[in-house]
Amino acid sequence: MPNILAIGFDPHTIPGFDPAPVAAGIKQGSKAFAELGLTEDLFLIDFEELDGRAQAKLVEKLESRQYDAVLIGGGIRKGSGLLELFQTVVNLVHWHQPDAAIAFNESPSDSPDWVLKALEQKRKS
């Protein structure tokens, strides 16, 4: 059973943002992971911890077990002013999970599709 780490923002911590649609998408994606037989760990970044605390917590999570794939959510790479965070997250994943496939998604609900594609790419490499 493949182990997946999904990294994204905790939608409840983003100022001035309606968390309901993203929270529903995360729940739908998690359900789909389970139905596919994939073990998902969620790592949701608190928007108020972008001062470095989130990065330290992410390193701890990445070192806690081996993952077959790591998914980096769209909010981290699409958000205005978040390029440095995105680069940091990609590098931390690369350094601490060098054997994991890296996946990106369009929305939380399509995360399993992109993880499966990344796992297939890894298998073929």
107: phi then psi, degrees, rounded to nearest 5:
-155, 165
pLDDT per residue of the chain (125 residues) written in tens, 0 to 9: 899 999 999 999 999 999 999 999 999 999 999 999 999 999 999 999 988 899 999 999 999 999 999 999 988 988 788 999 999 999 999 999 999 999 999 988 899 999 999 999 999 98
Q: What pTM was computed for the model?
A: 0.94
Strands 101-104 and 69-72: parallel
For 43, half-sphere exposure in the C-beta direction (CA atoms, 13 angstrom radius) is 24
> Cα–Cα distance between 113 and 59 in angstroms, integer?
25
